[in-house]
C-alpha cells in the first residue's frame, strides 16, 4: 500500500521546483477556469470558449513568424476574436459568427505556419500546453493576469447573472446587455490567454466547461455552484498533474477525461435520484433534497 502511494505520489512532486511551479500555475488557471466556466455554461457560450483558444493559437503562430513573443500573438488573437464575435453577433445569437471567426483565425494561422521557414516550436508548445516547465516569472504573469480576470468577474457578477438569466428585465433596469456581453467576451478572451500557455489551446476549454457543468448538479445556489466549480477544477488539474507526472502522457488528456468522468458520474447520479424522488413526491423537489440540506 505504502509502496503504491509512493509510486503515485513520488516525493519529487513537491520537491522539484518545476513541479511546484506547475502546481501553482495550474491552481491559478483552475480557479480562473472554474469562475469563467460558470458563466460560460449559464450563458450557453461553450462555442466561444472553444473557439478563442484556437484563435489564440493562430495568433501565436503569427507572432512566431514575426519573431515576437508568442504570448503577444495569443493575447491579440484571443481578444480580437472575442471582440469580433461580440460585434458581429446579434442579441445573444452568435454561433454562426463564432464559427466564421474560428475559421478565419485558423485559416490565418495556417498561412502563418506555411510562411514560416522553420518549425514553429513556440506555437506548437501552445497547442498542448506546457504545464511542466514554466518558470517562476511565468507563474507570476499567470497570477497577475488571473487576478485581473477574477476582479473583473467579481465586479460584473450581479449584472452578468441578471442579464444572463433575464435579459429584458435587466435592460429595463438600465443594464446594457450588449456592453455586458462585450465585457464578458473580453474576460473569456483574457482567461484564454492565461490558461492556454499552461494547459494548451486544445484543452483549456475542457477545464472551463467540465467543472462548471458538473457543479450545476451539485447545488441549487449560484454562489455555491461557483465555489464547487472552482474546487472541481482545482482537483481536476492536480490529479491530472500527478497522473501526467507518473505516466508522462499529455496532461490535457487527463484533464479532459477526469472532467468528463466527473460530469458523467454526477449527471447519472442526479437523474437516478430525480427518478427516485419524482416517484414519491411532487415535482418541485430538487434531486439533491436531503443530500444538500436546506439552509
Partner 1 sequence: MQVEHVLELNDIVVQFGQRTVLDHIDVAIEAGEFVGLIGPNGAGKTTLLRVILGLLSPNHGEVRVDGKSVRKRNRAIGYVPQKIHLDPDTPLRGRDLVGLGLDGHRFGVPLPSRKRRARIDEVLEAVDALRFADAPVGRLSGGEQQRLLIAQALLTDPKILLLDEPLSNLDIRSAHEVVRLVGRLGKERGIAVILVAHDMNPLLGHMDKVLYLAEGHAAMGEVDAVIQSEVLSRLYGYEVEVLRVRGRVLVVGGRDEEADVVDLLGGFHCGDHEDVMNS
Partner 2 sequence: MTTVLHYVFAPGLLQSEEVLHAFLVGILVAVISGVVGVFVVLRGQSFVGHVLTDIGAAGASGSFLVGVNAWYGFISFGILAGAGVEWLGDRARNRDVATGIILSFAMGLGSLFLYFDTRFTSNASAPMMVLFGSMFVLNPGVIPIVTFTGLAALVVLLLIYRPLLVCSVNPEIAKTRGIPVRLVGILFMILLAIAIEDGSLVVGSLLSTALIIGPPATAIRLTSRIGLASVLSAGIGVVATGLGILLAYDSYLWPPVHRGWPVSFFIAVLVLVFYLLSRLWPERRYAQGAGSARREEVA
Q: 20-23: long-range contacts at Cβ-Cβ below 8 A with a sequence spacing of 24 or more?
A: 21/134, 21/135, 21/136, 21/138, 21/139, 22/131, 22/132, 22/133, 22/134, 22/241, 23/238, 23/241
Which has the closest alpha carbon to 97: 82, 110, 111?
Answer: 82
Q: Which stretch binds partner 1 (CB under 8 A): 14-22, 28-36, 130-138, 215-223?
A: 215-223
Residues 49-68 that bind partner 1 (CB under 8 A): none
| Residue 165 interacting with partner 2 (CB under 8 A) | no
Residues 31-50 that bind partner 2 (CB under 8 A): 41, 44-47, 49-50
Q: Supply the minimum distance, in Å, between the C-beta of residue 159 and partner 2.
A: 20
Name which of 103 and 291 has its Cβ closer to partner 2: 103
Which cell numbers in the block locate residue 27?
A: 491552481
List, in sequence order, the alpha helices (H) in 89-203.
95-115, 121-128, 136-165, 167-172, 177-199
- Residue 53 near residue 201, CB atoms below 8 Å: yes
Q: Supply the minimum distance, in Å, between the C-beta of residue 206 and partner 2.
A: 4
Q: Which does 219 bind (CB under 5 to 8 A by kind): partner 1, partner 2, none?
A: partner 1
Residues 218-277 that bind partner 2 (CB under 8 A): 249-250, 252-257, 259-260, 263-264
Residues 240-279 that bind partner 1 (CB under 8 A): 270
Give the C-alpha separation, 182 to 286, whole Å.
34
Which cell numbers in the block locate residue 220?
A: 441549487
Name which of 16 and 42 has its Cβ closer to partner 2: 42
Q: Which residues bind partner 1 (CB under 8 A)?
A: 42, 154-159, 161-162, 165-166, 168-175, 215-217, 219-222, 224-225, 270, 283-286, 294-295
Amino acid at each position: 500500500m505504502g509502496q503504491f502511494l509512493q509510486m503515485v505520489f513520488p516525493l519529487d512532486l513537491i520537491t522539484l521546483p518545476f513541479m511546484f511551479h506547475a502546481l501553482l500555475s495550474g491552481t491559478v488557471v483552475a480557479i480562473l477556469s472554474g469562475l469563467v466556466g460558470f458563466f460560460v455554461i449559464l450563458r450557453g457560450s461553450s462555442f466561444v470558449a472553444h473557439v478563442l483558444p484556437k484563435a489564440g493559437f493562430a495568433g501565436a503562430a503569427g507572432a512566431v513568424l514575426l519573431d515576437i513573443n508568442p504570448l503577444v500573438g495569443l493575447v491579440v488573437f484571443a481578444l480580437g476574436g472575442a471582440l469580433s464575435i461580440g460585434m458581429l453577433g446579434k442579441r445573444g445569437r452568435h454561433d454562426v459568427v463564432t464559427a466564421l471567426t474560428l475559421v478565419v483565425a485558423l485559416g490565418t494561422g495556417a498561412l502563418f505556419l506555411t510562411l514560416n521557414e522553420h518549425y514553429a516550436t513556440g506555437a506548437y508548445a501552445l497547442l498542448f500546453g506546457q504545464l511542466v516547465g514554466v518558470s517562476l516569472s511565468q507563474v507570476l504573469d499567470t497570477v497577475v493576469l488571473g487576478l485581473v480576470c477574477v476582479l473583473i468577474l467579481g465586479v460584473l457578477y450581479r449584472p452578468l447573472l441578471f442579464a444572463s438569466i433575464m435579459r429584458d428585465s435587466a435592460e429595463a433596469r438600465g443594464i446594457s446587455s450588449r456592453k455586458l456581453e462585450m465585457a464578458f467576451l473580453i474576460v473569456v478572451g483574457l482567461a484564454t490567454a492565461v490558461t492556454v500557455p499552461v494547459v494548451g489551446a486544445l484543452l483549456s476549454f475542457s477545464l472551463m466547461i467540465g467543472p462548471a457543468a458538473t457543479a450545476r448538479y451539485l447545488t441549487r445556489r449560484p454562489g455555491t455552484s461557483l465555489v464547487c466549480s472552482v474546487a472541481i477544477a482545482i482537483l481536476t488539474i492536480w490529479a491530472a498533474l500527478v497522473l501526467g507526472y507518473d505516466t508522462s502522457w499529455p496532461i490535457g488528456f487527463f484533464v479532459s477525461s477526469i472532467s468528463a468522468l466527473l460530469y458523467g458520474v454526477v449527471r447519472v447520479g442526479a437523474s437516478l435520484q430525480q427518478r427516485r424522488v419524482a416517484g414519491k413526491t411532487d415535482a418541485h423537489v430538487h434531486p439533491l433534497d436531503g443530500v444538500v440540506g436546506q439552509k
